[in-house]
Structure 1
Amino acid sequence: MTDRDDAAAWGRLLRAHRLRAGMSQEQLARVSGVSVRGIRMIENGDRRPRASTVTALAKAMRLPEADGVALLEAAQPQARTDAASESSAAVRSAVVPRQLPPAIAGFVGRETELSALDRLLTPDAAGAALGTITGPAGVGKTTLAVLWGHRVAAHFPDGQIYIDLQGFSPTGKVVTPAEVVRTLLDTLGVRPAQLPHSPAGQLGLYRSLVADKRILMILDNARDTAQTRPLLPGGTGCVTVLTSRDQLTGLVATEAASPVVLDVMTAAEARQLLARRIGHDQVLLEPEAAGDIIASCAHLPLALALVAARAAVHPGFRLSALAAELRDAHRGLTALLGVHSATDVQAVFSWSYRAVSADAARLFRLLALHHGPELSVRAAAALTATSLRKAASLLTELARANLLIEDSTNRYRFHDLLRAYAFDLAVEHDSDDARDAANHRLLDHYLHTALAAERLINPQRIPIDIEAPTPDSVPYSPTKRAQALTWFTQEHRNLCATVQRAHDGYDKHTWQLAWAMTTYLAAGFWSEWILILETGLAATDRADDKHAHNRIHLALGNAHIRVGNMDEARRHLTTALKRGQPRSQANAHLALAFCAEQQGESALALVHSEKALQLFTEVDFPVGQAKALNSIGWHRAKLGDYDHALSDCQRALTLLHELGEPHGEAETWDSLGYIHHHLRDFDEAVTSYRHALELHTEFGNTHNLAKVYLNLAETHQAMKDVPAVRDDLGRALSLMEKLEHPDTEHVRERLRLLGPR
């Protein structure tokens, strides 16, 4: 496709958005500040708009943020430099996700619904295919989606993705679109250093990565249209299937989603399911008893599966005996199920629960205290104060009874209705003290494991004082950084849910968990990071723990820096200075130096850096001293004091090298490149920048790589080496496009002005 074709396609996209907004070209021009002639030229495909123009148009049409990002992406030219193409290929990782849970054995019926889903493979119109599976709880929406996913997996060579959106979780924690996008980027192999800073930028990167791929995406248990619309991929190769108790009519109306409305099983399908699971002969011998069981289960697959599991482990039972047991086991979940046979379905739950061992029944009840979407064997062992082997055996028993769902990764999850049932049982059968002790063990398990993992990821961080773990909390102690990162990746959604729900009586656990998660969440989970820290801050207020209060303020200051909210960052950092310990105060000064620089106050930034050095020296913290020296050198250079800046940064580099701190070395080489450039020692500047590039490449730090390439381009420009400038800008551009960097269009314009190679 030529640039002209690209521009024409974008013009058509703009016109579609304008008409959808009900605006004429004249109205759009009046609101956006773009001339009528300019809008006409854009819509006619005569010219491609600048990023600032796209932003103004999107704002004037009041487009949602996600649509504005997509519009900006579409305006970018398809032609790339060789360097850009190479870098893009590096980001588009070879990772092929295969995330579908295991398909349920013995699936029957639903042929009409499966045929409707098959039509998603051959959509009638351009665009990514979208289907919805809706219906009441327990009707088999997830089972249908996953089974169909396995059937058609060969159509999606770029992978199959499964995410539980927890839209109707009894915990009340609904996953936000920003959290899902961050998880999707992990799934697609994007390293933390390659992530854009803003949620909108992350969304744009996600859509860019899947735009030309064939991926099946199953988004399970969606709350509503608002939760799901930002997650829909563009392009024509992806197929998305959403499941929900909500009808998702907004997606059907505006996104042309193909709806599949799932009802309870027909009598014939339910009978076939029982026959498939427990044997055709038994069903044929006692057809009336089979009918009674189906009626008691309200034709719901979830309840029928529980009955079948009970029958399978007791092959000598007659169906009439099973039916009689069901009639004697009435409870009530009408509010949750919303169907007239809710009492009978609750009886199935009760009956299956009574069929497992006493230890398994106790674990089933206590599992309801776990707030996250899934749990490990270790977490189950902590809840029950038992050994890992015993916990694994009990979990297997519950899974065989269909009271839990076991994923392929040795992790377990509840169906929402069974979780609610388990919680009712825990309140009824376990004392307040017993539930409190189980909750304390679980919190200690997560806290002490998180702190052990945190120490491996960020060994230079100031540790916190914590109490010894309670007996039988079985914390995990990773020994390698990779193990620590894997644990955080598996558990971070559980940790977030735990922090947000644990504060009742557990303020210390709440803020300490929030603190322990900081380094991991700082790698791109910025909205979650701020939310978790704010929860931790409230806990320190309730506990009246001023020292902890300052620690969380310091972390919040750094979190707000990441999202570009410098005023809010400065407020938190200033608070952290008031009562913090010297090393903590030094870190606050370094962060405040960055805030000051971003707001054009280099002199104030230098003052903060010098105070940081003084404090780090007082507490004899060499790594901090080296980082403060680099900060001092950088800000002196920004003020034009290049000779002293050179000395400061050289001292910093020597110290960082001795300490084995390559991240700090990379930053300092970049500072030295800038200083040598302004001292007009261009060869030394190039050498310094190349050292920085080498180290940043090793870490995969996309943000800093782009910055150094731009700096290197300035030096090559001063050396009048135009081919080198073109190469530097091309490499920077490819990185900045991935990051949705606000200066992308400016760099692209500089490349155009250089002309062809």
Structure 2
Amino acid sequence: PPPKPTTCWRAGGPERLAAEPQAVSDLLEMSAHLPLALSIVAARATLTPARSLTELAGQLRDVRDRLHALDIGDASVDLSAVFSWSYRTLSDAAARMFRLLSLHPGPVISVPAAASLVGTERGQARAALSELVRAQLLTEPSAGRFAYHDLLRAYSTDNAHLEETEQSRREALHRMLDHYLHTAHVAALLLNPPNDQLSLAEPQPGVAMAELIDDEQAWQWFTAERPVFPAAIDLAAAAGFDTHAWQLAYSVASFCVRAGHWTQMAAAQVVAIAAAERSGEPDGQASSLRELGRAYMRLGRYPDAKDSLHRALALDKQLGDLTGQARSYNNLGIVSHALGAQEEALEHGMAAYALFHEAGHQAGQADALNAIGWMQTQLGQHVDALRHCGKALELHRVVGSRHGEADTWDSLGYAHHNLGEHEQAVTCFQNALDLYQKLGSRHPQADTLIRLGNTHQDSGDVQAAHRVWQQALPILDDLHHPDADLLRARMAEHRAQTS
């Protein structure tokens, strides 16, 4: 429940508070629950009894003007002055950290990201952040992650513009964007070895990287930083760091696909395409168009996906990029499959494999072989599907792609299911699920659970089918996926039939 209003709020009249509970809640939040800020809000409400609390909340909603709005003409209750009492007691290192934190676009910041902003070592950054927590200018909502309220952000922004030069602010922003880009690139390669390595500029001196050693740590980092990525990509584009913008959007794309953050991914790729066009990087345009196509596929926007992928393919051909062409064909195959054109889908998969093979790209070959096997199951060619998916599984193990392994186990399970080999299908699906669960890949996990339930149903174990389908529902609900309603309807129909 929200905190109770202070005594000075109650003095304004319980009827007034009770009449506008949402406005009261908003005012508490926008005042950071700071006693002085709440007192000032209460005083303003008392001085203007004809004005509703909702109007007052609206006046304070613009963070940029909130420090000035919380002013009733009495210097003794100037909120900026109160903040300055804490700020002036800080060491030089902590004060600079506080100022530069205003450049960070996200709700929370990690120690390596903060160290990059300031251009200092992690230990020194941690000490400065801890000092800010002790001064009640920051909070530490979870271990090693720091946040501050909008009012304090506004105050730190004012101080950054007063005490930091434009050049120092831009250098800090550059280091911060380098931190996110270089860490995201490493994380993407750990998470999905088939990802193509980008040609990144060297990070600026003073950039600290998050230390990641395997795909599970990479997934955890992506999950923790996900709220920061959209704002960081937008900020990079707005500040003229166009290469950072499209490369960061590319680096987070595979995580977004598997975690189900498709709307966020699509928005980021739209920004990325424009950024790559401005910077004159056609390879960036092609990559961003391809990732936009993948996002549209997941969102069910197949005509838009097809258009984006064909635009990417045209650029790939102009650039002579065999791997890019192969990826575009592979994704076009998925779109064709979704639209019911299975023969065309198989042709796209074959074209992708040939290009990956010509490029000597083993991870891509594994992806294409799995796609070919999947398309063959749609055409009733289940034995051929097992052969191609078996080769894909071997290659995924060679390149160390656990996501690729999981996807291929799922395809193998589907082929066995269609051959009536239910025990083998269950084993394959369970292997896929074990990997998806370890890796945190939620949407593929839900898809495999549905297929596993189908196998149980066809083998005559309806109860097991419903248990498995029930596990898929909360995942689909969390993703706001339309398959959730379809699955509920299907389960209800089966219950009605069995009863």
**TM-score higher than 0.5:** yes
Which residue in 1 is equivalent to 2:448?
704
CA–CA separation in structure 1 for the residues paired with 2:144 and 2:412: 50
Which residue in 2 is equivalent to 1:64?
none
CA shift, 1:140, in A, is 4.9
Which residue in 2 is equivalent to 1:731?
467
CA shift, 1:421, in A, is 2.2
Residue identity matched to 1:538: A
1:695 aligns with 2:427: no
- Residue aligned with 1:611, SS: helix
CA–CA separation in structure 1 for the residues paired with 2:468 and 2:295: 25
Residue identity matched to 1:481: D
CA–CA separation in structure 2 for the residues paired with 1:399 and 1:459: 39
CA shift, 1:712, in A, is 5.1
Rg comparison, structure with higher value: 1
CA shift, 1:475, in A, is 1.9
CA shift, 1:599, in A, is 0.8
Q: Give deviations 1:288-331, integer Å, cap 9, x for gaps.
A: xxxxxxxxxxxxxxxxxxxxxxxxxxxxxxxxxxxxxxxxxxxx
1:268-279 to 2 correspondences below 5 Å: none
1:337 aligns with 2:77: no
Match for residue 95 of structure 2 among 346, 361, 375:
361
Which residue in 1 is equivalent to 2:277?
541
Which residue in 1 is equivalent to 2:50?
none
Residue identity matched to 2:93: D
Which residue in 2 is equivalent to 1:484?
218
CA–CA separation in structure 1 for the residues paired with 2:86 and 2:396: 62
Which residue in 2 is equivalent to 1:520?
255
CA–CA separation in structure 2 for the residues paired with 1:659 and 1:457: 12
Residue identity matched to 2:113: A
Q: Is the 8 A contact 2:289 2:309 kept in 1?
A: yes
C-alpha spacing 1:130/1:409, structure 2 compared with 1 (3 Å): farther
Q: Is the 8 A contact 1:707 1:732 kept in 2?
A: no
Which residue in 2 is equivalent to 1:348?
82
Which residue in 2 is equivalent to 1:509?
244
Q: Is the 8 A contact 2:86 2:135 kept in 1?
A: yes
1:595-614 to 2 correspondences below 5 Å: 595-614=335-354
CA shift, 1:735, in A, is 3.6
Q: Is the 8 A contact 1:136 1:337 kept in 2?
A: no
Match for residue 742 of structure 1 among 483, 486, 499:
486
Q: Is the 8 A contact 1:653 1:668 kept in 2?
A: yes
Unaligned runs of 5+ in 2: 15-20, 44-64, 438-444, 477-483
Match for residue 324 of structure 2 among 580, 584, 600:
584
Which residue in 2 is equivalent to 1:422?
156
- Residue aligned with 2:112, SS: helix
Which residue in 2 is equivalent to 1:556?
292
CA–CA separation in structure 2 for the residues paired with 1:441 and 1:660: 31
- Residue aligned with 1:553, SS: helix
CA shift, 1:610, in A, is 0.8
Which residue in 1 is equivalent to 2:227?
493
C-alpha spacing 1:648/1:693, structure 2 compared with 1 (3 Å): closer
The count of corresponding residues between Structure 1 and Structure 2 is 446
1:569-580 to 2 correspondences below 5 Å: 569-580=305-316
C-alpha spacing 1:367/1:556, structure 2 compared with 1 (3 Å): same
Residue identity matched to 2:363: V
Q: Is the 8 A contact 1:630 1:649 kept in 2?
A: yes
Q: Is the 8 A contact 1:547 1:579 kept in 2?
A: yes
C-alpha spacing 1:608/1:372, structure 2 compared with 1 (3 Å): same
Match for residue 648 of structure 1 among 388, 393, 413:
388
- Residue aligned with 2:109, SS: coil
- Residue aligned with 2:171, SS: helix
Which residue in 1 is equivalent to 2:27?
135
1:616 aligns with 2:325: no
Higher relative contact order (CA 8 A, sep 6+): 1
- Residue aligned with 2:25, SS: strand
Which residue in 1 is equivalent to 2:185?
451
Residue identity matched to 1:729: A
Residue identity matched to 2:90: V
1:40-119 to 2 correspondences below 5 Å: none
CA–CA separation in structure 2 for the residues paired with 1:411 and 1:366: 16
Q: Is the 8 A contact 1:139 1:263 kept in 2?
A: no
CA–CA separation in structure 2 for the residues paired with 1:650 and 1:627: 12
C-alpha spacing 1:728/1:590, structure 2 compared with 1 (3 Å): farther
Which residue in 2 is equivalent to 1:629?
369
1:464 aligns with 2:198: yes
Residue identity matched to 2:486: P
Q: Which has the higher helix share?
A: 2
1:5-44 to 2 correspondences below 5 Å: none
C-alpha spacing 1:586/1:335, structure 2 compared with 1 (3 Å): same
C-alpha spacing 1:507/1:598, structure 2 compared with 1 (3 Å): same
Q: Is the 8 A contact 1:646 1:672 kept in 2?
A: yes
C-alpha spacing 1:455/1:674, structure 2 compared with 1 (3 Å): closer
CA–CA separation in structure 2 for the residues paired with 1:381 and 1:636: 51
CA shift, 1:371, in A, is 1.6
CA shift, 1:591, in A, is 1.4
Residue identity matched to 2:347: V
CA–CA separation in structure 1 for the residues paired with 2:493 and 2:30: 56
Which residue in 1 is equivalent to 2:143?
409
CA shift, 1:641, in A, is 4.4
CA–CA separation in structure 1 for the residues paired with 2:142 and 2:399: 43
C-alpha spacing 1:704/1:386, structure 2 compared with 1 (3 Å): same
- Residue aligned with 2:312, SS: helix
CA shift, 1:479, in A, is 1.7
CA–CA separation in structure 2 for the residues paired with 1:662 and 1:408: 29
C-alpha spacing 1:445/1:686, structure 2 compared with 1 (3 Å): same
CA–CA separation in structure 1 for the residues paired with 2:401 and 2:96: 49
Residue identity matched to 1:477: E
CA–CA separation in structure 2 for the residues paired with 1:657 and 1:391: 40
CA shift, 1:552, in A, is 1.0
Which residue in 2 is equivalent to 1:74?
none
CA–CA separation in structure 2 for the residues paired with 1:554 and 1:619: 18
CA–CA separation in structure 2 for the residues paired with 1:356 and 1:670: 56
Q: Give deviations 1:572-602, integer Å, cap 9, x for gaps.
A: 1111111222122212212111111111111
> What percentage of residue pairs aligned between the two structures are identical?
33
- Residue aligned with 1:476, SS: coil
1:163-202 to 2 correspondences below 5 Å: none
CA–CA separation in structure 2 for the residues paired with 1:455 and 1:612: 21
- Residue aligned with 1:407, SS: strand
Residue identity matched to 2:450: A
- Residue aligned with 2:486, SS: coil
- Residue aligned with 2:211, SS: coil
CA–CA separation in structure 1 for the residues paired with 2:142 and 2:391: 52
CA shift, 1:448, in A, is 1.5
CA–CA separation in structure 2 for the residues paired with 1:617 and 1:375: 42
Residue identity matched to 1:486: Q
TM-score scaled by length of structure 2: 0.78
- Residue aligned with 1:412, SS: strand
CA–CA separation in structure 2 for the residues paired with 1:137 and 1:111: 14
Residue identity matched to 1:337: L
C-alpha spacing 1:577/1:339, structure 2 compared with 1 (3 Å): farther
Residue identity matched to 1:507: D
CA shift, 1:520, in A, is 2.4
CA–CA separation in structure 1 for the residues paired with 2:412 and 2:94: 63
TM-score scaled by length of structure 1: 0.53
CA shift, 1:383, in A, is 2.0
Q: Is the 8 A contact 1:333 1:346 kept in 2?
A: no
Q: CA RMSD in A?
A: 3.5
